[in-house]
Amino acid sequence: MEKFSVVVFGLKDEQVGGGCDCAGACAPQPTMGELFDGLVKFIEESEFAGKVEMKFVDIMDDRLDGYEMVKEYLEKGFALPLTAINGEMKLYGGISNEMVHKYLKEK
């Protein structure tokens, strides 16, 4: 059985994106930690249950030793959160359950 690795880099308590629509109505946005928790639940309910090691790395609280690519992406201005799948950076600026699932299926 092949094991997969999904690592999300971000700020656990930081909201993702702006919460206002075109009409100026604003709504609270989920935090990166909440989106990650949703991703974990989504994967646990998919055909990849038990096959994916999931990890959230808070770039302010956790050490980035061994994650040099994250520092490079941040220096280039890529938006948090960043998502690496099997060691390759795949997504930035949000957490998409569907996109992570798609990348896992392609492996």
Query: What structural domains and CATH numbers belong to the chain?
Result: 4-106 (3.40.30.30)
Whether the per-residue pLDDT at 1 is higher than 90: the answer is: no
Residue for token digits 């909201």? 15
In sequence order, what are the residues at sequence separation of 6 or more whose Cβ sits closer than 8 angstroms to the Cβ of residue 14?
Answer: 31, 32, 80
Q: What is the pLDDT of residues 18-76, one digit of tens each?
A: 556 666 567 778 999 999 999 999 999 999 999 999 999 999 987 888 888 999 999 99
CB 5 within 8 A of CB 83: no
